[in-house]
Chain A
């Protein structure tokens, strides 16, 4: 019997696999046994009610999608009265995700939704900071740390900082949120991208710019997970392009303690369950007693130090 248990930033999980924020909703329960997941991560909410951006909202690429949804949100009361009760009945810990326009609003919202049915709060810091001309909080170590400190000051729940990959040095942001008290980092949100229709000479997304997700982004995010894991002591949750159990193992070898699956849930609703089964078989086959042993178990070339990996001669 393989022990799949992991503890991530104060949250005890039966296995290391969970959905990425925004990749499941109530409809998933019509096909999938949500009780089997390591945790249930909810879609990001904001303090206010939002409709999201203008359609079209998705463009398809080979093994990737470019989405721009704009966080439609029904606000915190809907979360507490409808979403949390719906998902809490399945058993796995429920992780809320929040976003706001200022660090203080992040703090207030974290306090407002603090509730025994919520196991941790993910801070989606890939959104624009209105105090910094719309630059994402996660693009600046100071602003990212401010968000985490504001949340920590308002709640005792563990805080997971979900980083944006749209930075030059993600390890720096990971260190900043760790210093601010984050209990885990999630690496990462979507990669900024753009699509154009040559025939109509117009953008393919209503919002012009969107986030690239899906299997094609895996090598980029895998590298970032590895950089974060080497930079911080708190657990790193890998998220980006995971489709199979083999991808999960790769992320854990790179340093992740758990993973999130996003876009793949849209294509294969069974992706998470199948990944859990695959990882179990892998551990059995490799005589690995505890899945947690995989974290950081990558066998690196001995003659290369991590600084050298930071800048590859291309």
Chain B
């Protein structure tokens, strides 16, 4: 198939809020033994992304594979000054293996920005973020967004071992205070993280929480949000068909305030939901 070669020219900005952005790869380097950072030059529509949104990436054909569907990738860096977008990813399957083959100068067709991202209530003073694994990527732009709104940011980053920790620099550059925990040090268990958060809350009250990448972290975030009566949001990840709310493949059960459950699309109704809305994923 040769569809890539004739991808749609970008829609005039202001006319269509989303587009098949024809981006160009600036770099695609490994960050550690697990993660790679893909940086691309992006057109204006792509740069209109905000924290928690994602792009649906057309994975290039390699000598052995041609992933048919696009792959959703949350946005890790929105650098409007330099006209660049960054995606932090872990090579886990066919799609991400294909992405890893991209070289500087190659074209990347990225549909987006897609989905509903984070929304920080006005007047938020202290955001606490807890994330694990690749979930960290999703929260980095939220730190910038929160700082820009005048909030203080504390980020607890969790990983299997210290060498797998990612995004510390990115988060610190965004103005976040970063706390690292890991399984080897034995300080990443939910109870430990909860105790940490309680101490932080006692010091400077937390009035918004965000999480991504772990069911256990979602659980503890939900509990603390309800105890402290503060809003919290989670970015949900799912395998997707279309990324645009059309195919209904990426649904998760979402509960409203009355306890009524409905299957909602991660790509279109999310990927960011209230922590109290999402049961499990």
- Measured in the bound complex, the distance between the Cα atoms of B42 and A184 in whole Å is 45
> Is B161 an interface residue when CB atoms closer than 8 A count as contact?
no
- Measured in the bound complex, the distance between the Cα atoms of B243 and A24 in whole Å is 11
Contacts A52-B251, A268-B20 known; A58 to B246 CB distance under 8 Å? no
The total of interchain contacts (Cβ-Cβ below 8 angstroms) comes to 111
Contact check, B251 vs A57: say whether CB atoms are below 8 A apart.
yes
Closest Cβ of chain A: how far from B129's Cβ, in Å? 27
Contact check, A61 vs B68: say whether CB atoms are below 8 A apart.
yes
Contacts A31-B11, A62-B68 known; A26 to B1 CB distance under 8 Å? no
A72 contacts which chain B residues (CB < 8 A)? Answer: 248, 251, 263
Contact check, B244 vs A25: say whether CB atoms are below 8 A apart.
yes
> Is A65 an interface residue when CB atoms closer than 8 A count as contact?
yes
A244 to B, closest residue via Cβ: B3
Contacts A60-B67, A268-B3 known; A52 to B248 CB distance under 8 Å? yes
Contact check, B68 vs A214: say whether CB atoms are below 8 A apart.
yes
Interface positions, chain B 44-80, Cβ under 8 Å from A, are 58, 66-70
Closest Cβ of chain A: how far from B256's Cβ, in Å? 14
Q: Which of B8, B239, B245, B268 contacts A269, CB < 8 Å? A: B8
Bin the interface of chain B by size.
Answer: 35 or more
**Which of A79-87, A105-113, A187-195, A270-278 is the contact stretch?**
A270-278
Chain A interface mostly: loop
- Measured in the bound complex, the distance between the Cα atoms of B217 and A228 in whole Å is 56
Closest Cβ of chain B: how far from A195's Cβ, in Å? 13
Contact check, A30 vs B247: say whether CB atoms are below 8 A apart.
no
B243 contacts which chain A residues (CB < 8 A)? Answer: 266
Contact check, A215 vs B67: say whether CB atoms are below 8 A apart.
no
Bin the interface of chain A by size.
Answer: 35 or more
- Measured in the bound complex, the distance between the Cα atoms of B251 and A60 in whole Å is 17
Contact check, A30 vs B18: say whether CB atoms are below 8 A apart.
yes
B19 contacts which chain A residues (CB < 8 A)? Answer: 31
B242-278 contact mask (Cβ, 8 Å, vs A): 1 or 0? 1111111111100000000011000010000000000
Q: Which of B3, B7, B69, B246 contacts A24, CB < 8 Å? A: B246
B244 contacts which chain A residues (CB < 8 A)? Answer: 25, 27-28, 30-31, 266, 269
A268 to B, closest residue via Cβ: B3
